[in-house]
Chains A and B, each alone.
Chain A
Amino acid sequence: MIKVEDLSFCYSQKGQQHWVLKDISFAVKTKESCAIIGPSGCGKSSLLFLLAGLLQPVQGKVQIAEKSRCGTILQNFGLFPWKTVYENVALGLVLQKVNKREAKPQVEQIIEEMGLSAFAQYYPGQLSGGMQQRVALARALVIRPDILLMDEPLSSLDALTRERLQNLILNVWQEKEVIPVVVTHSIEEAVFLGLQIIVLGSAPGRIIERVDNKEAGQVGYRQSSLFFQRCNMLRSALTEECNVC
């Protein structure tokens, strides 16, 4: 469970406060998922950093159920170019000092699930964008997280690879009992993955719309007319916001 209450955040630069997020409140329950969408620079990444505990709120609070673990995929520079695929994925376990022999089958299994077995000894620089994102996913999943925080995990991919990985994330959500929180600027992605969609406006980032999207994750949803309706709904909310600024 994630609960965010009246969260505000600012960056201080040269003594000046630059408010990035203002009064954000939402909750995501176990077995749910959440998509956060908004125009570029509205503070999506900052919000994710706050959820991951990498930044501390200036006002309000972020509550995450006790003992729950977060797997995180950052927008850029998440994978370590100096580690092989195997080493990258194993890192979460290595840091927890799980012994090598115990970690090996877990790491190998998750690499296998992501379809990367043949590339375990490759460096990230030798992989395609889609493969790199699967490595990032594997690394986040290897610690068996309860919450999976993802910052535009698929933004650099071509349409087909993107849909395939969206399905992969959907499977992870439904089979592993993790709460996916996906930050995205793609309307279709938000509607496909988010049981709850939070639309942020910019300067400062605040919630301008919440969309209940109960059908997310159902078979054939992407092809249904309801899917398109939802997309259009989001689109008009976002265009309205962008017309203002």
Chain B
Amino acid sequence: MFAKRDILLAAILLLCEWEIAALLLHSMALPQPWEVLADFGGKLLTGKIVDDIIISGLRALAGVALGAATAIPLGLLIGNEPLLQRRISPFIYLLYPIPHVVLLPLVIILFGIGNLSKIVMIALIIFFQILVTTRDAAKDIHQNYLYSLQTLGATKWQLYCHVIVPATLPKILTAMRISIGTAVAILFFVESFATTKGLGYIIMDSWGRANYVALYSGITGMALLGFTLYLLLDRMERYLCPWNHIE
């Protein structure tokens, strides 16, 4: 693991590069970082952007939670039960490569234009990513782990609790970490309609008004949100999988 100091250094370096690029480019489309940070800081302090961050964060979290809560059990079952594997995997094979964002109209018809359809949209895309990883991780469990537990007289349920879940957990959490990036990207997409709250809305709205500093404030908010969620899952992984972090 890298130290906090290294992250800070990297952040400062990125800001410097941004500053240099802004100075060289000298375009409205790339304001200088201090302008953006001042704007963003001001909005944070006055609370203007806080509820947008919270709303976006909740939408992303709810989407990831819904996607994971459905994909993980299903993935574990498919990976372990040969019959399910044979019956369901062909569907995954056909459905996974489809770009699921195009289902947005359908999702809106089914779930309305409110928060639910936004969450479902995120969940839908995350679902496939996590499902495939979970299934493959479950299929890859070494037979001897299962045998070992069976020799101790385990029931199917115990097999899941003591072997299948812990053996796949690190990979599932990695998949979830990757899906955070996706979730925030979809957030931008689903917050561009039928809402006046959320970071995606702020970005679209500022863009429309050609207010580039505000636009970058929105982007900064999104980056911060993605980073926070990523950090959260990273912490969760350390907490849930301590055996992966022994020196």
Spell out A's residues near B (CB within 8 Å): 49, 52-54, 70-72, 74-83, 91-92, 95-96, 123, 125-126, 139, 143, 149
Q: Which residue of A lies closest to B147 (CB)?
A: A54
Asked if B158 contacts A95 (CB within 8 A), the reply is yes
Q: How far is the CA of A43 from the CA of B152 in the complex (A)?
A: 23
Asked if A74 contacts B148 (CB within 8 A), the reply is yes
Residues in A whose Cβ lies below 8 Å from that of B243: 81-83, 123, 125
Picked from A54, A80, A126, the residue with its CB within 8 Å of the CB of B151 is A54
Picked from A78, A81, A83, A149, the residue with its CB within 8 Å of the CB of B144 is A78
Q: How far is the CA of A123 from the CA of B241 in the complex (A)?
A: 11
User: Please, could you name 19 A-B residue pairs with CB atoms under 8 Å apart, sorted by A?
Assistant: A52-B147, A54-B150, A54-B151, A74-B147, A76-B142, A77-B142, A78-B144, A80-B162, A80-B166, A81-B243, A82-B166, A91-B149, A91-B162, A92-B152, A92-B153, A95-B152, A95-B158, A123-B242, A123-B243
Residues in B whose Cβ lies below 8 Å from that of A91: 149, 152, 162
Q: A80-B162, A91-B162, A123-B246 are in contact. Are A49 and B152 (CB under 8 A)?
A: no
Most buried by B among A53, A81, A95: A95
Q: How far is the CA of A53 from the CA of B147 in the complex (A)?
A: 10
Residues in B whose Cβ lies below 8 Å from that of A125: 243, 246
Total cross-chain contacts (CB, 8 A): 61
Residues in B whose Cβ lies below 8 Å from that of A126: 246
Asked if B144 contacts A77 (CB within 8 A), the reply is yes
The 6 closest A-B pairs by CB, nearest first: A77-B144, A72-B151, A82-B166, A77-B142, A123-B243, A92-B152
Residues in B whose Cβ lies below 8 Å from that of A139: 152
Asked if A95 contacts B167 (CB within 8 A), the reply is no
Binary per-residue interface labels of chain B (157-198) against chain A in the complex, 1 for a CB within 8 Å, 0 otherwise: 010001100110100000000000000000000000000000
B34 at the interface (CB under 8 A from A): no
Most buried by A among B147, B151, B153: B151
Q: Which residue of A lies closest to B155 (CB)?
A: A95
Residues in A whose Cβ lies below 8 Å from that of B227: none
Picked from B148, B153, B167, the residue with its CB within 8 Å of the CB of A96 is B153
Asked if A143 contacts B147 (CB within 8 A), the reply is no
Picked from B148, B151, B154, B241, the residue with its CB within 8 Å of the CB of A82 is B241
Tell me what chain B mostly uses at the interface: helix, strand, loop, or mixed: helix
Asked if A52 contacts B152 (CB within 8 A), the reply is no
Residues in B whose Cβ lies below 8 Å from that of A92: 152-153
Most buried by B among A49, A53, A71, A80: A80
Residues in A whose Cβ lies below 8 Å from that of B155: 95
Residues in A whose Cβ lies below 8 Å from that of B246: 123, 125-126
Q: How far is the CA of A70 from the CA of B242 in the complex (A)?
A: 31
Asked if B144 contacts A80 (CB within 8 A), the reply is no
Q: A123-B246, A125-B243 are in contact. Are A77 and B145 (CB under 8 A)?
A: yes
Residues in A whose Cβ lies below 8 Å from that of B169: 82
Q: How far is the CA of A126 from the CA of B244 in the complex (A)?
A: 11
Q: How far is the CA of A139 from the CA of B148 in the complex (A)?
A: 10
Residues in A whose Cβ lies below 8 Å from that of B144: 74-78
Q: Which residue of B lies closest to A55 (CB)?
A: B147
Q: How far is the CA of A143 from the CA of B149 in the complex (A)?
A: 13
Asked if A52 contacts B163 (CB within 8 A), the reply is no
Q: A91-B162, A125-B246 are in contact. Are A80 and B152 (CB under 8 A)?
A: no
Picked from A72, A78, A95, A149, the residue with its CB within 8 Å of the CB of B154 is A95
Smallest beta-carbon distance A142→chain B, Å: 9
Most buried by A among B148, B153, B162, B166: B148
Q: Which residue of B lies closest to A88 (CB)?
A: B148
Q: Which residue of B lies closest to A140 (CB)?
A: B151
Residues in B whose Cβ lies below 8 Å from that of A81: 243
Asked if A95 contacts B148 (CB within 8 A), the reply is no
Smallest beta-carbon distance A235→chain B, Å: 30
Q: A123-B243, A126-B246 are in contact. Are A77 and B148 (CB under 8 A)?
A: yes
Q: Quick one: which of B215-247 are within 8 Å of A by CB?
A: 241-243, 246
Smallest beta-carbon distance A18→chain B, Å: 17
Q: Which residue of A lies closest to B145 (CB)?
A: A77
Picked from B148, B158, B163, B167, the residue with its CB within 8 Å of the CB of A72 is B148
Q: How far is the CA of A123 from the CA of B247 in the complex (A)?
A: 11
Residues in A whose Cβ lies below 8 Å from that of B154: 95
Most buried by A among B153, B162, B163, B243: B243
Smallest beta-carbon distance B165→chain A, Å: 9
